[in-house]
């Protein structure tokens, strides 16, 4: 971890170094002891040298176009594993074909799978020279903009739906709210209409709109629905139609989706059980 950096971590180190240099310079101005002054000047020189190294590291990070950099192995990333524990390792992306169960593509991805579906699928499409293909992926890849890019390229996705959520524990899940595309509104469990509250909100990788209703004020189901003072709020992604399309496809073709494990786990089973590489992909 100490050899993995992002810009925020670099800035924190530089800020600390600047504060120590300022502290040593202040002590130097107040000190008359020659031996102590020599020691302070040495400390200042060491800190300025470290400052320069972090500036060079920041420049290297900027040139790489990446969000983080690892000094021991450039391919390594700071990953968030189970129980929200961080560790530096590898998010390996792999693709196997359905017919022969052979690995046809792999690369080291970013810190999560959320940004990997389109990159991986488009790479395979180009590699195999295909106009159209189907992908099977788990819920970690079910991200709106990724599904959109796949659809634009003629790639049909079967990505497991993300579980329906609620903003609070013991409140109605989002799946209880029915969206009506023609009128662009939601109907809540009590039969009230939630309409667009404002314009587009810009998120890192998508835009979204907020839907609300004034009926929450006197609703008898409010305690089961939300704890928000302004009532229940629904945020709908600009890619929600494509997400719903993918989800419906995966649910209606459940037996087909189940092939995912048989296809992608097969080559790793061969590597580990038949070829003896038992350490492969072990945490």
CA distances (Å), origin 58, targets 5, 10, 54, 63, 70: 9, 7, 6, 9, 12
Binned at pLDDT 50, 70 and 90, residue 280 comes out as: low
Cβ neighbors of 4 (< 8 A, separation 6 or more) are 68, 69, 70, 71, 76, 77, 78, 88
Task: Using a pLDDT cut of 70, give the percent of the chain over it.
Answer: 98
pLDDT value of residue 50: 96
Q: What is the mean pLDDT of the chain?
A: 93
Cα(136)–Cα(256) distance, integer angstroms: 9
Tell me the per-residue pLDDT of 65-94, one tens digit each, with 9 for 90 and over: 888 999 999 889 998 876 778 889 888 899
pLDDT value of residue 4: 95
Of the given ranges (61-70, 72-81, 126-135, 173-182), which has the lowest mean pLDDT?
72-81
Binned at pLDDT 50, 70 and 90, residue 33 comes out as: confident
pLDDT tops 90 at residue 127: yes
Average pLDDT of the segment spanning 88-114: 91
CB 90 within 8 A of CB 110: no
pLDDT tops 50 at residue 283: no
Binned at pLDDT 50, 70 and 90, residue 35 comes out as: confident
Task: Using a pLDDT cut of 90, give the percent of the chain over it.
Answer: 78
pLDDT value of residue 281: 56
Tell me the per-residue pLDDT of 187-243, one tens digit each, with 9 for 90 and over: 999 999 999 998 999 999 999 999 999 999 999 999 999 999 999 999 999 999 999
- Reported as half-sphere exposure (CB side, CA atoms, 13 A), residue 279 has a value of 0
pLDDT value of residue 74: 87
Beta bridge partners of 134: 156
Cα(72)–Cα(92) distance, integer angstroms: 18
Average pLDDT of the segment spanning 175-190: 96
Cα(55)–Cα(11) distance, integer angstroms: 9
pLDDT tops 90 at residue 156: yes
pLDDT tops 80 at residue 279: no
């Amino acid at each position: 971890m100490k050899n993995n950096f992002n810009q925020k971590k670099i800035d924190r180190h530089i800020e600390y170094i600047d504060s120590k240099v300022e502290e040593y310079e202040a002590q130097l101005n107040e000190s008359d002891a020659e031996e102590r002054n020599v020691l302070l000047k040495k400390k200042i020189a060491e800190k300025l040298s470290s400052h320069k190294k972090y500036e060079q590291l920041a420049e290297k990070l900027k040139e790489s176009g990446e969000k983080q950099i690892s000094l021991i192995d450039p391919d390594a990333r700071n990953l968030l594993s189970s129980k929200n524990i961080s560790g530096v390792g590898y998010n390996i992306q792999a693709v196997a074909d359905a017919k022969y169960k052979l690995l046809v593509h792999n690369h080291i991805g970013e810190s999560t799978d959320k940004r990997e579906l389109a990159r991986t699928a488009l790479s395979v499409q180009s590699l195999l020279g295909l106009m159209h293909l189907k992908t099977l992926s788990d819920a970690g890849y079910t991200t709106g903009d990724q599904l959109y890019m796949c659809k634009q390229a003629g790639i049909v996705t079967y990505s497991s739906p993300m579980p329906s959520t609620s903003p609070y524990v013991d409140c109605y899940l989002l799946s209880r709210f029915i969206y009506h595309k023609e009128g662009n509104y939601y109907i809540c469990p009590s039969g009230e209409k939630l309409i667009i509250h404002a314009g587009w909100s810009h998120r890192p990788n998508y835009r979204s709109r907020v839907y609300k209703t004034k009926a929450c004020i006197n609703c008898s189901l409010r305690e089961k629905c939300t704890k928000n003072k302004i009532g229940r709020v629904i945020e709908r992604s600009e890619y929600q139609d494509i997400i719903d399309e993918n989800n419906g496809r995966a649910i209606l073709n459940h037996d087909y989706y189940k092939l995912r494990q048989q296809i992608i786990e097969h080559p790793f089973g061969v590597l580990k059980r038949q070829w003896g590489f038992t350490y492969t992909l072990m945490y």
